[in-house]
Structure formats: C-alpha cells, structure tokens
Structure 1
Amino acid sequence: MLIEKVMLDTRPLKDMKHFYEEVLGFKERESEENQLTIEAGRSTITFQKVEEGNPFYHFAFDIPADQFQVAKEWVKARTPLLKEEDQDEVAFEHLQACAFYFQDPAGNIVECIARRTAPQSDGQPFSIESLQKVSEMSFVAVDAGQGGEVLERLNLIEREKRPIRPHLLNFMGEKEDESFLLLLEPGRKWLFSDQMAEVYPVTAVLKGRGTAYVGEGGLVSVEEWEGGV
C-alpha cells in the first residue's frame, strides 16, 4: 500500500508555508491561495486552511535506512526535536526501525522513521529530497471498531491481524508494505508529545485501492478504486 496523497486541515497556513518551504526547504508543488502542497518522495501532503479550531495530526516520513543519524542532525539544525524522558530518538526493535520527532507551527507531530528494511540512500548527502514517502497517517475516529470495519473494504486490516483495540493504536495495512493508517480513538497520548489524539477531518488517497476519510462527525468512510482492490 502506498499513501499517495494526504489532505489535512490547518489554521496557521502562512506560518506553515514559512516552516515547510523556508525552514525545511520543501518545494511547493501547487500554488493555491488557501492551500499548501508539499512533496515527500512518492507522497504528497496538502494542508488546507480553515478558520476555526486548531487541527493537528500525527504523520510519519520514511527516511533512508542508512541515514538516520545524519537526518536527525540535519533536522535538529533547523527545528527543535521533541523529547520523551530526555531522549530525542526511539528504537522500535520489533519493527527494526528508529525514529525522531518534531512539531510544526500547527502542532502536527511529525515523525521521521528509518526502517532497516527500507531502501538505503543513493550516496547523496541528506536533504529534504531524501524523504521517501508518507508511511504513517493518523486516523482518529469516534469509533475505531466502525473504522476498522469500513477500512476492510479497501483490504486494510490490522498489521498483526488482531481485532481492533479501541483504546490502542491500530496499524491498518500490510506489515510487509510498511505503510499504515493509524486508527485510534480520541484521548491517547501521542509519543514524544504531551498532546492527546483528537478527531479532525483527514483524507488519504491509497494508490490502487481508493480513498479513506475521517469526516466532520469523526466517522470513517471510504471510496473504493473503480478497478477494484
């Protein structure tokens, strides 16, 4: 599964443009007055301006397997890293991965993760163009059970094939693909943050499968790809 496109709501669009373009060096893919679209390898993220609320999300960028430390120092030189118990990185031994986190002006918790099974760098120095894809996108829903049933229409099931656990993080997607929608209910604390998960609209276009949504009411819905999953 490839998370091809993500569309998120944001309040401080001007600050977001400065942060992603001027601080981190993303190139704006499409220029629209009330949107910012950035490219991360094979994925894009579009931030859509809203006038009410303060939407925030968690999402993860894959970085080359052999560039974790250099990527960490590159980001750290541009924006503070988030810490958990005085640590600014974490090793997920069961996933064979390491990650670090930072926050953007909208309060999004942004993860950079190096998976040992992912492609290595091409020998070029790390830059924002080294990002490979969006590999995790939060789907905070009012009813995780309902969300799990709906996502099955796109052949998305929990990576360990376990039942949906409403109060925990459910990684929806094939373990081998290492791309997931993170299905959960409000109130769970995000790792490396003091923020609790909240429900906000999100759209994720999954290549070759369809489009998944969390709507205004916090329920998950999908549109299947016309060619079938």
Structure 2
Amino acid sequence: MLKIQHVHLLTDHLAKLEEFYGTQFGLPIVERQSQSFTVKAGRSYLTFSSTHISGDNPYYHFAFDIPSNKIKDAKSWLQSKAISLNVLPNHSVEFVSSSWNSTSIYFYDPAGNIVELIARHDLRNERDTSFNANHLLSISELGIVVPDVVGVTERLTRELSIQVYKGSVTENFAALGSVEGLLIFSEYDRVWLGSNKPARYFKTEVQLEGVRTGSYTISDLPYFLVCR
C-alpha cells in the first residue's frame, strides 16, 4: 500500500513558509539549514528549499490527511489562524467526493501552494481531542504535472507495481496509489481543484514506501521518485 514518506519542494519564499508551517501551524521543524528546512507532519516529512532560478516562483498541490471526523474542526482551526479557505465553483468551501468517500478543504500557503486537508471516511482514524497540528496525520497526496497522463500512468503502474486508485484515470487526470497515499497526475495547464492555478512543471522529489523499490524519473521532467 503506497504511502508518502518525504516530499521535497522548491520555493521563492523560504522564510515565510518556515514561519507558516513551523510557527503558525505548529509542525515540528526537524532540520534547518541556510537554504532549506524540514517539518514533520504525522508520519511524513516536508522539505522546502530555496529555488536558484530567478523568477521561478514554484507552487505545488499537496494534501494532508486529517481524522475522518475533523473537517468542521479543521475549518475553525484555520479560521483562528486567519487562513482563508478557497471557494469552489459551487460556492462551497468543501469538496465532497462520493467515489472517494472523502471531504476536502483547500487554501493557499504564503508561497501560493494549493494545500488540501482531506478527511477520508474509509479510514478509522477519528480523534476526540481539539484540532491541532497533531491532526495533520500525513502527506497523503502530491500533484505531479505531466504532458501525457495516460502514458505516464501506464508506465508507472507497470514499473512500480502501483495501482490506479478507484478507476481515476482520464486524459488529463490520474490518481495512483492507495487510500493512504496518492500521486495525483495532472495534464499541464489543467487547473488544480480548489484553486484558480494552472498545473505547471516544478522540480519535485518524493520518497515512497509500499511499492516496488528503486529510483525513477519521468521522461525529461524535473521529478525524482525514490521507492523504498
């Protein structure tokens, strides 16, 4: 069963993100260097490093799992931190997926990353305590932008022994993995759900577990997957 261990992303706003995730969110900073920092979110790690490409302004989509009974509390928690939720086309701030049996909310961090908090109701992970940083249980989704979604999906299902999640493959979208960890493949320029931002290529490194071991790249794109 695929799980995301560690995600390494780039940013033009290192100090702002360290303040946001380390202080405002209260996630523990487990490593800090002059050009990067790493926080721990449940069983996953998230690293941001400064980009060396002037004007690059990278942004990504990723999701944190939260307990299945904590969407309402998560909304209040974000509001208490003056974080605005993104409004969806149906004028709601919640996206309810019947096929995935999940409820999601979205917001932007200070670098413009599209961050999702998702409650997966198939998981028995309810919590009774007030919502806090400990309720960010893991990084459960990572968006990866490719020019040929179907082709990449066919290759990775074969080479990594990774499964398509609940039949989620179209010409511009695919979800590969498990209820506990998903790689979300988007066609270039497709607008990320929960945002008004088109999908773009930015350097991404991710460590996975639960699939065939090895190191993988995707064509000539700036992605590096390490499977343990």
TM-score band by shorter chain is 0.7 to 0.9
Number of residue pairs matched?
Answer: 221
Deviations 1:24-60 (A, max 9, x none): 2222111111112111111111111113201111011
Matches within 5 A, 1:95-106: 95-106=100-111
State yes or no: 1:57 paired with 2:63.
Answer: no
State yes or no: 1:158 paired with 2:164.
Answer: yes
Match of 2:6 in 1: 5
Matches within 5 A, 1:1-229: 1-52=2-53, 53-78=56-81, 79-85=83-89, 86-152=91-157, 153-161=159-167, 164-167=169-172, 169-174=173-178, 177-209=179-211, 210=213, 217-218=220-221, 222-223=225-226, 225=228
Unaligned runs of 5+ in 1: none
Contact in 2 for aligned 1:201/1:216 (Cα 8 Å):
no
Greater percentage in strand: 2
Which whole-Å CA distance do the structure 2 matches of 1:48 and 1:222 have between them?
A: 17
Deviations 1:92-148 (A, max 9, x none): 122111110111111110000111122333422110111111111001123324422
TM-score by length of 2: 0.87
Which whole-Å CA distance do the structure 1 matches of 2:209 and 2:194 have between them?
A: 30
Cα 1:172/1:212, change in 2 over 3 Å:
farther
Which whole-Å CA distance do the structure 1 matches of 2:71 and 2:99 have between them?
A: 17
Unaligned runs of 5+ in 2: none
Which whole-Å CA distance do the structure 1 matches of 2:137 and 2:122 have between them?
A: 13
Which whole-Å CA distance do the structure 2 matches of 1:22 and 1:224 have between them?
A: 31
Identity %: 29
Cα 1:94/1:146, change in 2 over 3 Å:
closer
Which whole-Å CA distance do the structure 1 matches of 2:15 and 2:127 have between them?
A: 34
Deviations 1:174-224 (A, max 9, x none): 3xx342100122111111211000011111111243466666942666555
